[in-house]
A = this chain, B = another copy of it.
Amino acid sequence: MAFLMEAHSGLSAKIVEEAGFEGIWASGLSMSATLGVRDNNELSWTQVLDMLEYMSDASSLPILVDGDTGYGNFNNFRRFVKKLCQRGVAGVCIEDKIFPKTNSFLGENQPLADIDEFCGKIKAGKDTQEHGDFSIVARVEALIAGRGLEEALKRAHAYADAGADAIVIHSKKSSADEILAFCREWNNRAPVILIPTKYYRTPTDRFREVGASMVIWANHNLRSSIQAMRDTCAELKRSETLIDVEDSVAPLADVFALAGAGELEAAEKRYLAASNGSAQGVILA
């Protein structure tokens, strides 16, 4: 069972990679929150794409993108898939709700997409992807919407029939019961991915036992950074000095190292050497 860790920026993508995870979950909630907006498609799809490009450039890990509802109909989704492939993203997950979306943990009885329309979207995405190993994951929101296990299974089967490479079954309950029940019924017809943000107390072995292929820690880099920045801001506001902060934050040298300062230093030797170490030499005509 593989684990994806959330990232929301080039920097957090690098940190996920250095920690040894198998892949990155580019959370829509986290990217939105980082940029200061709500998880309601307030970012345009190209604004999301811009952040994904930073992440893809920053890390060699496969990135699974939280693609919300695909930013419109099948045609909007085709455009998104094409650009994700071009930017080197490994896959996209779309959920069977309506554009503009509402975060799954907010509100009640969110409307679901028409099954056939959503299947057409999956097919259009699969027909568009430029690399054979690009993945399109279908996220089933039936449990979130309070529509029950039967509806969830019906949708999961339809999406797998339409070509989805894997299924995310999502829940906002603190108990994993409905998730585990789904997995048992589903019986691994296609790989299943779980996001235990709300049922975080469930031991991970329960997910293994029901055959889950992947678990996503969906927003914990974001939430840990919020906590840390709040603590640091409060301390600096109170104390008005860095003395007590310096040792609790990453060294400045780590910032440069994470950004790759060493590579540039070496490259300057290679590409600027001929001009005697000065990049600024000019000949004034």
Contacts and interface: CB of A to CB of B under 8 A. Distances in A.
Contact of A234 (B19, B46, B237): B19
B20 A34 contact: no
Contact of A242 (B75, B116, B200, B282): B200
A38 B271 contact: no
Interface residues of A, number: 131
**Chain copies in the assembly?**
4
Interface in A1-50: 3, 5, 9-16, 18-21, 29, 32-42, 44-47, 50
A58 B42 CA distance: 13
A86 interface: yes
Interface in A139-161: 145-147
B21 A36 contact: no
A190 interface: no
A9 to B, nearest CB: 5
Interface of A: 3, 5, 9-16, 18-21, 29, 32-42, 44-47, 50, 54-55, 57-59, 71-76, 78-79, 86-88, 98-100, 103, 105-106, 109-114, 116-117, 119-121, 123-124, 145-147, 196-197, 200-201, 203-204, 215, 217, 219-234, 236-237, 240-243, 245-246, 248-252, 254-256, 258-261, 264, 267-268, 270-276, 278-285
Closest 9 CB pairs of A and B: A10-B36, A36-B58, A228-B228, A116-B274, A19-B233, A225-B225, A223-B249, A200-B242, A120-B271
Given A72-B99, A113-B282, A221-B229, 16 more contacts: A10-B37, A11-B36, A18-B233, A42-B79, A44-B46, A74-B272, A98-B282, A111-B283, A120-B273, A123-B270, A124-B267, A124-B271, A221-B233, A223-B252, A224-B228, A225-B228
